Structure 1
């Protein structure tokens, strides 16, 4: 199975399918993808806003997957640490954009060459349909040669 197909099928992975998390757009040449989640009765909290665990879940694997997809050598990639800060209740559709910039990829590859590992930090904004922040996520992704 080609590696890029993960972004086509991950919306059907049971945890994402149940939460309503979907990859809306993936542009491999730009190393960019957009993820969205609809509010449904099974993923809202007691205030009828998006459940915080689902908000984090919609951000969890994507930078790790983008790195694995774009680093040409065999690497082990996983989220080493993450923090989430909730800004306001999210209702309706929320979305996040993930973009691995060329200079970030070059730095990862350079650190892999010199230190055999890299631990880049990424910041993700989860926004509502009006572009207002619902949550901010900070991730450190561990990348090492196999």
Structure 2
């Protein structure tokens, strides 16, 4: 069961959450309305792979929960939201600091609300690029989010 939580609290919690903390992932921004987030990953000895570039799992992890969390929090408690599928394309070796930005637009939220108004499920694909310090794409990540309206309570329990 998801709970509404302030974005500032969630940002602080995510920054000490072990999968992020021990990978060197930092949530730098999370807007109060859950429409925007910025996540960074700095390269350290403990998050390099065998050939000295960013570990692919860390590149994926830095993007993993955001579309689901942002969608869930922006829609509110009347919706069930889950991650359904994901894929990642490694475009070039990642070195140094990399970042990912997430922008959840009102038109996407309206599309989701319309598509689930009758109680049916809706699957939406979101895309995020991980960018290096020179502005080059290091990885492209796609996440599919499952959304369904919660059934109305009948008042009997």
Name the TM-score, length of structure 1 as normaliser: 0.93
Residue 80 (structure 1) aligns with: 84
Residue 52 (structure 2) aligns with: 48
How big is the shift at 1:72?
2.7
| Higher mean C-alpha displacement, 66-75 vs 53-62 | 66-75
Q: Distance in 1 between matches of 2:75 and 2:59?
A: 27
Aligned residue for 1:68, secondary structure, equals: helix
Residue 21 (structure 1) aligns with: 25
Residue 3 (structure 1) aligns with: 5
Q: Distance in 2 between matches of 1:132 and 1:16?
A: 23
More helix by share: 1
How big is the shift at 1:3?
1.0
Residue 35 (structure 1) aligns with: 39
User: Is residue 143 from structure 1 mapped to residue 150 from structure 2 by the alignment?
Assistant: no
> Please, which runs of 5 or more residues in structure 1 have no aligned partner?
none
Residue 125 (structure 2) aligns with: 121
Q: Distance in 2 between matches of 1:17 and 1:30?
A: 21
Give the direction of change, closer, same or farther, for the CA distance of 1:139–1:2 in structure 2 (3 Å limit): closer
Aligned residue for 1:36, secondary structure, equals: strand
Residue 69 (structure 1) aligns with: 73
Moved over 6 A (4+): none
> Please, which runs of 5 or more residues in structure 2 have no aligned partner?
151-157
Q: Distance in 2 between matches of 1:65 and 1:72?
A: 11
How big is the shift at 1:79?
1.4
Residue 154 (structure 2) aligns with: none
How big is the shift at 1:115?
4.1
- How big is each residue's C-alpha offset from its partner over 1:81-124, in whole Å with a ceiling of 9 and x where there is no partner? 11100011111110000110010011111112124322111110
User: Is residue 132 from structure 1 mapped to residue 119 from structure 2 by the alignment?
Assistant: no
